[in-house]
Amino acid sequence: DTGWQELPGCQAVAGTGCDFSSAISEYYDAHYVRVRAQAGPLLSPWSKVLEMVPEQVAQIGPPGLELQSTNGVVKVMVSPPEANQRKKMWIDNLSFKYNLVFWENSSHAQLQSKNIFPVDTIDGLAPDSTYCFKVQANLPKEGKQGLFSPTSCVKTTQKVNDSLCPTNLSILALNMKFQLLWNSQENQDVNYNVQYLLGFWKKLHDDYSDKWLSVPRCENITSTWCNFSSIITTTGFHYLRVQAREGHNKSCFSKEVRVDPLKTNGIGPPGVRLDLSDTLLHILISPPGGAEDEVMRDHYDLSYRILYWKNSSDMKEEVKQKEVKQTIATVPDVSPSTLYCVKVQAFSEPYNKSSAYSQQECIHTPAGTPLPLVIFGIFMGALLVVLLVATPLVFVLYQAYNKIKYVFFPSCQPPLNIEGLGARPFSSPYLSAAAEESVENCCVIESMVTEEGNQIVFTDYKHSNQSSRDSGNYSNDDNTSGSKGSKETLDKEMV
Amino acid sequence: MNAFGLIQIGLILSSTTIISSLQCNHLPFQQRKVIENSLRLLDKMGKEFPQQCLREKMSFRFPTQVLQPRQKETVGAAIEEIFQHIFYIFSKNLTLAAWDRTVLDQFQNGLYLQIEQLEACVIEKHTQHCQSKEVSRLKLKKYFQKIDCFLKDKQHDLCSWEISRAEMRRCLQLIDKVTRKL
C-alpha cells in the first residue's frame, strides 16, 4: 500500500466530487486515483483504482476571439487556449486547428463553419448586417474538440467597390519558371507591386501583415504580369498578392493566391535525339528544364514514356511504348530501310504529372546487306589483310634466315691445307679477319723461270696486290692465278 | 514573353483557391527531400557549435523506440508529431540565437508544408485508436516538453538555442535514417 498519497483538498469531502488539479504536475504520466467513504469511525474499502493520463482526459478550453469589421469583410484574430498561463497542458499551441462557426443574426440563420488560421479574414458576407461568431480549438490527431469561445457579434460595413484592385490572379508555371498574371482596369496611371508571403506565417498567432515581401523586379511595374521564379523554393509554399497604386493615396490589394511549387508547376516536354548503330536505334533524351538545371529531375523523380513506330505510307503500323527512367533508351532489331519515328513524354509518378509529348523525330535506317554477302565480304577482307601482312613477314623472315645461315653455317669450307683452320669451329672469313692476315703471311716458294713475262708479272703483282687484299676468295680459287698467287704472296713479303 | 513561348504546350493554370487533394503518392519521395533540405538549412542558419556551450550540454534522451519500424503507420504518425514539435520550437523567441532569419524562415516553411500534407493524408486513417501510437505520442510530448522547459529556464539564450538546434539535428538525422528504410 505504499506510494499512495493523500490528495490535498480532497480529504473529508462532503460531496461526491473534488478538484485535485493542484496535485497534478506531470501531464503525460499515468496517475492512479482511489476513493473511500468514511462515516464516523467506519471506513469503507477502497474503490476500484481509476487510471488516467491527465493529457488524455483533459479537454481543450475555449480560445480567445477578436473581431474587426472593415470594408465589407470581417478580420478574425484567435488567441489560443491557455494563452497567458505559465504552465500549459497544450505546450504546442501551433497544432490547434480552429473551427469558426458564424451566422447572420436574423430569424432563419444558417450556421456556417470554417477552418481558419489564427489571423484570418471572412468575406462573402452581406453588407450592413450583423454576424455572430464563435470559435473552438481542436486537436484532430488526438480526436479532441475544444470548448467554444463566447459568441461575439459585429456589423459588416459597406464594401467599397474599388475597380482599382487587380482581379483574376492566375499562375502559369512550366519547368519551374513561374509567372503571375492578373487583370486590371484600363487606367494607365496605375503602378503594380507584387508581394509574397512564406506560407508558414499564417500558422503562427502573430499578425503577419509585416511579413509580406516584394517580389524582386516586380515593384512599381506597369505590366500585368510578373515572373516570380526567383522567390520559389522547392520545399515550402507561398501566397502572392498584387497591390495596385494610383497616384499617392489610392491603393488596393488583390485577393491572395496560394502557390504550391511542385504541385502547381507543369512539366515541359523533353528533347529527343536519335542515333543509329548496327541494328540498334538509340534514343537520347534531354530532360525538361535543360541539362544544366537539375531541379526537375531531382524533385519530380522523372520517368520517360517513349512512343515509337515505323512510318510507312502504305500500312498503319502499331505504335509501341517503352517506359524508362534513364535518359538513354535502345530499340533493338530495327528493320533496315525503314523510317522510324519517335516521340517522348516526361512524367512524374509521385506527383501524377506528365508533360506534353516532344516533337516527333524520325530517322531512316540504312539499307541492309544480305547476310551471306556480308560474311563473304568479311572473309575476303580478312584474307586480304592476312596476305598483306603475312607476305612481307615471310619474306623478311626468309631473308633473315639466309643471313643467319650464311653467317653461322656457311655452305663452303676453306681448304684443309691451310693450317690451323680445322680446329676452329667458326671458320668464316667475317669472323676471323684478324687470323686471316697471319695465314696470308705464309708463303709457298716456287722457282721463278721466264724473263719475258717479268714486266707483265710485275704489273700483275701490283694488280694482284690490291686484289688479294680485297678478298681471299679469288686468290684461293683460281688455278691460273695460282702461280701468280704465289708470286703475289712473295711480293707481299717484300712489301 | 518570348521565354514563355512553350507555355502553349504545357501550361497549367491554378485557381485562386487552395488545391486540396488527398493524393498522397508523392509524400514518401517528397519527405526525403524535405528532410535533406531541412538538415541543410539547419546547418546553414548558424555557425559551428560554440565551445563555451559545451559545459551546458544536456542529455534529453530522445525516445528512439518511437521510430522503430514495427508498424509503418505508427512510425509515420511519430514522424509527423516530431515535425510539428520542431516547427513549434523554432517559432519561439530567437533574437538571442542570432541566426540567419531568411534561412530559418525557409526551414520553417519547408517543415510546415510537410506537416500540412501529412495531416491531409493521415486524416483518413484517424479512426483507429492504437495503444502503441498513444504511448509513442506521450513519449514524444515528454521529450519535447523537456526541451521547452530547458529553453524557458535558460531564458532562450544563445547556448540553450545552440544545444536545442544540435538536438533537433539529431532528431532529423534519425528520421532521415528511418525514412530511407521505409
Whether A458 shows a pLDDT value over 50: the answer reads no
pTM check: above 0.80: no
Indicate the residue of A174, A199, A348 with minimum beta-carbon distance to B10.
A174
- Return the higher-pLDDT residue of A321 and A2: A321
Helix (H) or strand (E) run with residue A160 in it: none
Q: How far apart are CA A407 and CA A427, in angstroms?
A: 10
Q: Residue A448: what pLDDT?
A: 59
Indicate the residue of A92, A257, A350 with minimum beta-carbon distance to B16.
A257
Q: Contact A351/B26, CB-based, under 8 Å?
A: yes
Query: How distant is the Cα of B54 from the closest Cα of chain A, in angstroms?
Result: 27
The residues that bridge with A179 in the sheet, in sequence order, are: A172, A227
Q: Where in chain A is the domain with CATH 2.60.40.10?
A: 65-156, 167-264, 271-365
Instruction: Give the chain B residue whose CA is nearest to the CA of A223.
Output: B1
Q: How far apart are CA A70 and CA A73, in angstroms?
A: 6
Instruction: Give the chain B residue whose CA is nearest to the CA of A175.
Output: B10
Q: Residue A143: what pLDDT?
A: 87
pLDDT digits 0-9 by tens, A44-86:
999 999 999 999 999 999 999 999 999 889 999 999 999 888 8
pLDDT digits 0-9 by tens, A122-181:
988 999 999 999 999 999 888 899 999 999 999 999 888 778 889 899 999 999 999 999
Q: Residue A107: what pLDDT?
A: 86
- What is residue A357's DSSP assignment? P
| Contact residues on chain B for A233, CB-CB shorter than 8 A | 106, 109-110
Mutation choice for B interface testing from A51, A141, A240 by most B CBs within 10 A: A141
* Cα–Cα separations (whole angstroms), residue A291 to A61, A230, A234, A327: 56, 19, 18, 11
How many contacts does A have with B, using Cβ atoms within 8 A? Answer: 140
Indicate the residue of A171, A203, A259 with minimum beta-carbon distance to B112.
A203
| Contact residues on chain B for A351, CB-CB shorter than 8 A | 25-26
Pick from A257, A69, A250: nearest CA to A159: A69
Query: How distant is the Cα of B51 from the closest Cα of chain A, in angstroms?
Result: 31
Q: Contact B13/A170, CB-based, under 8 Å?
A: yes
User: How crowded is the C-beta side of A372, counted as CA atoms within 13 Å?
Assistant: 0
Q: What is the mean pLDDT of residues A217-237?
A: 92
Whether A338 shows a pLDDT value over 50: the answer reads yes
Most confident of A427-431, A461-465, B105-109: B105-109
| Contact residues on chain A for B38, CB-CB shorter than 8 A | 235
Indicate the residue of B80, B88, B126 with minimum beta-carbon distance to A94.
B88
Q: How far apart are CA A17 and CA A262, in angstroms?
A: 56
Q: Residue B131: what pLDDT?
A: 75
Query: How distant is the Cα of B50 from the closest Cα of chain A, in angstroms?
Result: 28
Indicate the residue of A179, A263, A269 with minimum beta-carbon distance to B9.
A269
CA angle A120, B116, B35 (to 5 degrees): 135
- Return the higher-pLDDT residue of A204 and A446: A204
Helix (H) or strand (E) run with residue A401 in it: helix A371-408
CATH of domain A271-365: 2.60.40.10
Q: How far apart are CA A226 and CA A184, in angstroms?
A: 13
Instruction: Give the chain B residue whose CA is nearest to the CA of A144.
Output: B126
- Are the C-beta atoms of residues A256 and B55 closer than 8 Å to each other? no
Query: How distant is the Cα of B56 from the closest Cα of chain A, in angstroms?
Result: 24
Q: Contact B10/A267, CB-based, under 8 Å?
A: yes
Q: How far apart are CA B161 and CA B53, in angstroms?
A: 10
Whether A182 shows a pLDDT value over 90: the answer reads yes
Whether B122 shows a pLDDT value over 90: the answer reads no
**Amino acid in position A402:** N
pLDDT confidence band for A121 (50 / 70 / 90)? very high
* Cα–Cα separations (whole angstroms), residue A276 to A284, A332, A336: 11, 10, 11
Q: Residue A271: what pLDDT?
A: 92
| Contact residues on chain A for B26, CB-CB shorter than 8 A | 262, 348, 350-352
Q: How far apart are CA B177 and CA A191, in angstroms?
A: 51
Pick from A323, A319, A363, A317: nearest CA to A340: A363
* Cα–Cα separations (whole angstroms), residue A284 to A117, A292, A327, A340: 49, 16, 6, 14
DSSP assignment of A102-124 equals EEESSTT---EEEEE-SEEEE-S
pLDDT confidence band for A443 (50 / 70 / 90)? low
Query: How distant is the Cα of B11 from the closest Cα of chain A, in angstroms?
Result: 6
| Contact residues on chain B for A92, CB-CB shorter than 8 A | 84-85, 88, 144
Counting beta carbons within 10 angstroms of the beta carbon of residue A254, is it exposed (0 to 12), middle (13 to 18) or buried (19 or more)? buried
**SS3 string of chain B?**
CHHHCCHHHHCCECCCCCCCCCCCCCHHHHHHHHHHHHHHHHHHHCCCCCHHHHHHCCCCCCCHHHHCCCCHHHHHHHHHHHHHHHHHHCCCCCHHHCCCHHHHHHHHHHHHHHHHHHHHHHHHHCCCCCHHHHHHHHHHHHHHHHHHHHHHHCCCCHHHHHHHHHHHHHHHHHHHHHHHHC
Name every residue whose Cβ is closer than 8 Å to that of residue B104 and which is 6 or more positions away in sequence: B41, B45, B90, B94
Residue labelled with grid coordinates 506534353: A356
* Cα–Cα separations (whole angstroms), residue A305 to A221, A335, A356: 42, 22, 11
DSSP, collapsed to helix, strand or coil, labels residue A217 as coil
pLDDT digits 0-9 by tens, B64-90:
988 886 777 788 889 999 999 999 999
Q: Contact B145/A141, CB-based, under 8 Å?
A: no
Q: Residue A453: what pLDDT?
A: 45
pLDDT confidence band for A295 (50 / 70 / 90)? confident
- What is residue A268's DSSP assignment? P
Residue labelled with grid coordinates 498503319: A316
By residue count, chain B amounts to 182
Q: Contact B6/A268, CB-based, under 8 Å?
A: yes
Indicate the residue of B30, B106, B141 with minimum beta-carbon distance to A28.
B141
Q: What are phi and psi of B28, to 5 degrees?
A: -60, -45
Q: Residue A426: what pLDDT?
A: 52
By residue count, chain A amounts to 495
Whether A265 shows a pLDDT value over 70: the answer reads yes
* Domains of chain B (ranges, CATH numbers): 27-180 (1.20.1250.10)
- Are the C-beta atoms of residues A9 and A20 closer than 8 Å to each other? yes
| Contact residues on chain A for B6, CB-CB shorter than 8 A | 174, 268-269
Mutation choice for B interface testing from A212, A235, A357 by most B CBs within 10 A: A235
Query: How distant is the Cα of B144 from the closest Cα of chain A, in angstroms?
Result: 9
Q: What is the mean pLDDT of residues B9-14?
A: 44
Helix (H) or strand (E) run with residue A292 in it: none
Counting beta carbons within 10 angstroms of the beta carbon of residue A459, is it exposed (0 to 12), middle (13 to 18) or buried (19 or more)? exposed
Whether A478 shows a pLDDT value over 50: the answer reads no
Whether A104 shows a pLDDT value over 90: the answer reads yes
- Assigned fold of A65-156: Immunoglobulin-like (2.60.40)
| Contact residues on chain A for B108, CB-CB shorter than 8 A | 198, 200
- Return the higher-pLDDT residue of A160 and B61: B61
Q: How far apart are CA A338 and CA A367, in angstroms?
A: 8
DSSP, collapsed to helix, strand or coil, labels residue A175 as coil
Whether B55 shows a pLDDT value over 80: the answer reads yes
Q: What is the largest CA-CA distance in chain A?
A: 185
Mutation choice for A interface testing from B7, B8, B14 by most A CBs within 10 A: B14
Residue labelled with grid coordinates 484600363: A186
pLDDT confidence band for B167 (50 / 70 / 90)? very high
Indicate the residue of A199, A234, A352 with minimum beta-carbon distance to B25.
A352
What's chain B's average pLDDT? 83
| Contact residues on chain B for A200, CB-CB shorter than 8 A | 87, 105, 108-109, 111-113
| Contact residues on chain B for A235, CB-CB shorter than 8 A | 33-34, 37-38, 106, 109-110, 113-114
Q: Residue A228: what pLDDT?
A: 95
Q: How far apart are CA A217 and CA A227, in angstroms?
A: 8
| Contact residues on chain B for A264, CB-CB shorter than 8 A | 12, 14, 19
Q: How far apart are CA A201 and CA B105, in angstroms?
A: 9
- Assigned fold of A167-264: Immunoglobulin-like (2.60.40)
Q: Residue A298: what pLDDT?
A: 83
**Amino acid in position A310:** K
- The complex's ipTM? 0.83
Q: How far apart are CA B178 and CA A480, in angstroms?
A: 112
Q: Residue A87: what pLDDT?
A: 87
Query: How distant is the Cα of A267 from the closest Cα of chain B, in angstroms?
Result: 7
